[in-house]
Amino acid sequence: MTRPIVIVVGAGHAGLEAAFAARRVGAHVRVVTGRLDTIGQTPCNPSVGGIAKGHLVKEIDALGGLMGRAADACAIHGRVLNRSKGPAVQATRLQVDKAKYGAYVTAALTSAEGIDIVEGLVAAIVLSGRRATGVRLADGRVVDGDAVVVTTGTFLGGILHTGADKTPGGRVGEAPATGLSQHLAELGFALRRLKTGTPPRLDGRTIDWDRMEPQPTEDPVPRFGWADDVPPPPPLLPQVDCALTWTNPRTHEIIEAHLSESPMYSGQITGRGPRYCPSVEDKVVRFAHRDRHQVFVEPEGLDTHSVYPNGISTSLPARVQAAFVATIEGLEHATMLRPGYAVEYDAVDARALDHRLHAKDYDNLAFAGQVNGTSGYEEAGAQGLVAGANAALALLGRAPLRVGRDEGYLGVLVDDLVTQGCDEPYRMFTSRAEYRILLREDNADVRLGPIAHACGLIDDARAQANARRLDATMKEADAQAKGRETDAAPHIRLRAQAHRTYEGYVDKLRAEVARLRGDGGADLPLPVDLDYDALAGLSTEAAQRLTAVRPSTTGQAARIPGITPAAVATLWAHARRLQRERAATG
């Protein structure tokens, strides 16, 4: 039998996970990327993980993905956030050596058997009827395949802004995919203009580190992989310190005086930026009462002097950036290696996708990552895994990979995207997860291991290692409950403690969520072609919102913005009637 071919457009975090997942499931993979030397870049901050994001990385890892392992191999600084709080909200964050990270994932991709790499810029999806069968490149070449996963990041109609300078591009030095953007619009995909930004890069040799508060790495350095993983986690790199400093009123004065030169404020940028990651211009304007904002000073690698000042993302002109950076304690003499910039790009309205991240109106066409309106490496990687695995599973005629909201942040992410679309770049937060106390970093393998094994994403050896770890955890939990001392490994002890912390809340939580959903506790299926305008008892507004999403279940309908409990009750009654009719005729 010849293997079906999955084409992955892009080789960023989404593209990489999509390629490896499709390959592990059993497809042959063709990765089309603009440039071979920018595979798996980390163009924004140098860290992987963080609150809710670390959870996603653990889930990617549990599903056999690449990101956690790559971050473990390239980490030069690590912390567990929220240490003083319960295990459900504790999260791992590693800072990686950017160059080594890129090299690690490039090596993984190029050495993988069954994955080809094609260099070229994709201009169009090749369709046979409504089925995707390949991609056409800007130079006219066609890459043939059986399914297409689009992971173009910020490259769709990308424009970089620094002051009044506008450069078409998806990242510094790389051309955008303008043709593809227009092509997708012609296929009927609604596009949204979004914006994100990045701070200037500084030369670490010109920073006065002694004048800032040191932020040492934790000892032992936290890792995404388990000590008893099969294969074991990669060795550690040498660790470096980060530092903390602050902006001050002088910094704010300079920024305010030049606000009109920021494309955000001059009207040059129309795309919507994320509220959780505002530019320093936004911080100064919106939080005018604050006289300082923190700046985390983070080295970008062991073999580079480039330093990332986290917290002062900006698109002001380069000379203004240099001037305000020089007012910050410790950065007075810092040389700017590269100015910060804002990037504006088109994102696809993900409400056109189903829970496999495949287009509802086309076959074998999927979208993943920043192109769906998310921000962050972790969010991108998680989607890539879902889209890639499902492309291969569909071609092989197997059941889809579907993670529920109660099974993983990955499930929350996908469901939120296809239910809400996004007005601003979407980032994961623990407060988006109604099952937060079930979705911990420490039990990602317990939650997702069986699903991963069933889809072929992890091998038998890894599944057995998971089973042994779970067994040891439950034995330890039992021993702890009886007050018995054991010689269990530290990570087994912690897992057992976490399990015991939340054990008593699981049923209460599930009952509460079922009640909140207002659907009588059952999530009933809804036909995709349901005519909401004709459904008695729905307001016109509710009918419009439902038509825009075409939800697959009553539970999903209840999470659509602006949907009222009354509308949910109406839908639920209708779904139950449909179910009874089906039962009567079938």
Interface contacts to other proteins, rule CB under 8 A: 51-52, 81-82, 84-86, 88-89, 275-278, 283, 286-287, 290, 293-294, 296, 310-311, 313, 405, 412, 416, 419-420, 429-434, 436-437, 505, 509, 512, 515-516, 518, 533-534, 536-540, 542-543, 558-568
List the strands of the sheet with 213-215, edge to edge. Answer: 213-215, 242-246, 294-299, 306-310, 201-203, 336-338
Alpha carbon separation from 166 to 76, 160, 237 (Å, rounded): 34, 6, 38
Angle at 163 between CA 158 and CA 169, to 5 degrees: 20
Q: To the nearest whole angstrom, how small is the minimum distance from the Cβ of residue 235 to other proteins? A: 29
Nearer Cβ to other proteins (187/514): 514
What CA–CA distance (Å, rounded) separates 558 from 499?
A: 30
Alpha carbon separation from 283 to 267, 278, 436, 451, 551 (Å, rounded): 18, 6, 29, 43, 37
Q: To the nearest whole angstrom, how small is the minimum distance from the Cβ of residue 558 to other proteins? A: 5
Instruction: Count other Cβ atoms within 10 Å, centred on residue 64.
Output: 24
H or E segment to which residue 257 belongs: helix 249-257
Q: To the nearest whole angstrom, how small is the minimum distance from the Cβ of residue 300 to other proteins? A: 16
Q: To the nearest whole angstrom, how small is the minimum distance from the Cβ of residue 505 to other proteins? A: 7
Nearer Cβ to other proteins (216/561): 561
What CA–CA distance (Å, rounded) separates 459 from 127?
A: 34
Nearer Cβ to other proteins (62/542): 542
Q: To the nearest whole angstrom, how small is the minimum distance from the Cβ of residue 151 to other proteins? A: 24
Q: Parallel, antiparallel, or unpaired for β 306-310 and 191-198?
A: unpaired
Q: To the nearest whole angstrom, how small is the minimum distance from the Cβ of residue 419 to other proteins? A: 7
As beta bridge partners, residue 81 has 91
Q: Parallel, antiparallel, or unpaired for β 294-299 and 242-246?
A: antiparallel
Nearer Cβ to other proteins (85/333): 85
Alpha carbon separation from 546 to 283, 348, 531, 549, 578 (Å, rounded): 36, 18, 9, 5, 17
Q: To the nearest whole angstrom, how small is the minimum distance from the Cβ of residue 242 to other proteins? A: 11
Q: To the nearest whole angstrom, how small is the minimum distance from the Cβ of residue 198 to other proteins? A: 12
Q: To the nearest whole angstrom, how small is the minimum distance from the Cβ of residue 544 to other proteins? A: 9
Nearer Cβ to other proteins (242/395): 242
Nearer Cβ to other proteins (436/462): 436
Nearer Cβ to other proteins (79/469): 79
Instruction: Count other Cβ atoms within 10 Å, centred on residue 59.
Output: 30
Nearer Cβ to other proteins (267/504): 504
Nearer Cβ to other proteins (207/412): 412
**Which residues are CB-contacts of 157 (< 8 A; sequence separation ≥ 6)?**
176, 177, 178, 181, 191, 193, 344, 345, 346
User: Contact 341/197 with Cβ under 8 angstroms?
Assistant: yes
Q: How far is CA 177 from the centre of its chain?
A: 21
- Full DSSP string of 513-579: HHHHTTSTT---B--TT--GGG-TT--HHHHHHHHHH--SBHHHHHTSTT--HHHHHHHHHHHHHHH
Q: To the nearest whole angstrom, how small is the minimum distance from the Cβ of residue 47 to other proteins? A: 10
Nearer Cβ to other proteins (430/486): 430
Q: To the nearest whole angstrom, how small is the minimum distance from the Cβ of residue 298 to other proteins? A: 10
Q: To the nearest whole angstrom, how small is the minimum distance from the Cβ of residue 453 to other proteins? A: 29
Nearer Cβ to other proteins (3/292): 292
User: Contact 311/199 with Cβ under 8 angstroms?
Assistant: yes
The secondary structure of residue 303, as a DSSP letter, is S
Helix axes 13-25, 98-111, angle to 10 degrees: 30
Residue found by looking up tokens 């330093």 in the block: 307
- H helix intervals, 341-459: 377-395, 409-420, 444-455
What CA–CA distance (Å, rounded) separates 102 from 35?
A: 13
Q: To the nearest whole angstrom, how small is the minimum distance from the Cβ of residue 230 to other proteins? A: 31
Residue found by looking up tokens 């079906």 in the block: 4
Q: To the nearest whole angstrom, how small is the minimum distance from the Cβ of residue 248 to other proteins? A: 15
Nearer Cβ to other proteins (118/535): 535
User: Contact 309/46 with Cβ under 8 angstroms?
Assistant: no
What CA–CA distance (Å, rounded) separates 61 from 72?
A: 11
Nearer Cβ to other proteins (209/429): 429
Q: How far is CA 434 from the centre of its chain?
A: 18
Nearer Cβ to other proteins (472/563): 563
